[in-house]
Structure 1
Amino acid sequence: MSDEEGGDSPMAVLLTKQRKEKKDLQAKFVIMKKTAKSGNKKQQKESQEEMGRMEKELEERHKKEQDECKELNQVVAPAEEDKKEEEKEEEKEEVTFYKEKTTKGKNQKRLERKAEERKKAAEAAAIDAEAAKTSMRTIEMKAVVEALLTRGLSLVDIPPDGDCLFHAIAHQLTIGGKDSKGAALRRKAASFIRAHKDDFLPFLSTEDGEILDEFQFEEYCVKVEREASSGGQWGGEPELRALAEALERKIEV
């Protein structure tokens, strides 16, 4: 049995009705045959022809009804399919809307969170900037810059790598037309200190405050020669004095 003939479909209802009509017609034929037997051959022949005509008309009518029912089903079925498709599309739209709404909600929250973080960072930076205005370093730097401006000078940043004192002097010498490097100035300072040991030794002491002995003095000079990355001595007042005298230049601090 096809889907069209099953259940309560229009075709199934029609076929049930047609079977009943055929059954009723057969019952009518039985009565007509009994009646014809009591008549002559002509009457029997006419009765037979009448039954054939009635059966043919019923078959033709049934076929026409079935064809019309099939056509109707072909129209209704697509309509039902279209309705189902529309319902599916509506469901998809609802799901899509929900997803979009959820996604937009998450994106909005993320944007708001980032905006809040930026706001806090800006507030923190503003607080730091305000605090920096009154910090000792800021006050000191401001005074240095003002002093330099009155003399037509400017502040130059030197990398704080442990060799900054020697690099700073090398920078100034280069500006003055004498190419120089921090490493070379270290060696020059150490050489000058060795040559003028008695002048520098009173100002060199151990962590305990004791004057350096011969071995310690030489160890100190070696550290002055080395760059900071190799364990060299940081530059200070003794090294500045040594370079000022060795270079025959006035160095202001």
Structure 2
Amino acid sequence: MSEEECGDSPMEELLSRQRKEKKDLQAKFLAMKKTAKSGNKKQQKESGEEMIKMEKEMEERHKREVEEIKEKSGAAAPQEVKSGEKGEEKEEGGAFYKEKTTKGKNQKRMERKAEERKKQAAAASVDEEAAKTSMRTMEMKAVVETLLPRGLSLVDIPPDGDCLFHAVAHQLTIGGKECLGADLRRRAAAFIRSHKDDFLPFLSTEDGDILDEFQFEEYCVKVEKEACSGGQWGGEPELRALAETLQRKIEV
């Protein structure tokens, strides 16, 4: 009795079994991918590598099995299925790993772009700082040129928020009158309080409204306090108050 009368030939049976094994492997890959996606990057990479290994081992085994049948029966080797048909199953095996590789490349590309933007921002910051330094240098030069003919010189005062009061105190000390910036704060606040009507029109909130009674007192308290304790920075009103209470001309 011939093989045709008995049913499928050994080669057909083998190919049928191999197709089933491929489908079973794809189902296993899907389950592995779902599990890997819920894990960390290391687990995902290991799963991808394991799937590629399993697929390769199965392909090699299938080839050996086909060769063995060919040797026994002299049957022709089965033609490879073109891409787009059942060959899509082959691509599916390493899909997860390929996807992760693509994502890795995109991530690296994004990181490179981010690094470039960071460098550009740093360069822009350096240029901006250089411009500020240049402007400050020009400004200081102009001040020095103004002071020299008058026999005056620049004195560095620490920019601690109390610098205006320390600067006035420094000049008073040179003139023979010892005092501290904290003392000048209290004197300025006291003068502003006692001359409320003179100063109130020049004091306003951030919205531009004139200070009410409570806000005015709060402002005076801040003038009294040093900057480290939440004090108000000195400005034109404080200079005016100091000039009046000290009976000195203050030139800015």
TM-score of Structure 1 vs Structure 2, range by shorter chain: 0.3 to 0.5
Return the TM-score normalized by structure 2: 0.48
Larger Cα-atom Rg: 1
TM-score, structure 1 as length reference:
0.48
Question: Does 1 or 2 have the higher relative contact order (CA < 8 Å, sep 6+)?
Answer: 2
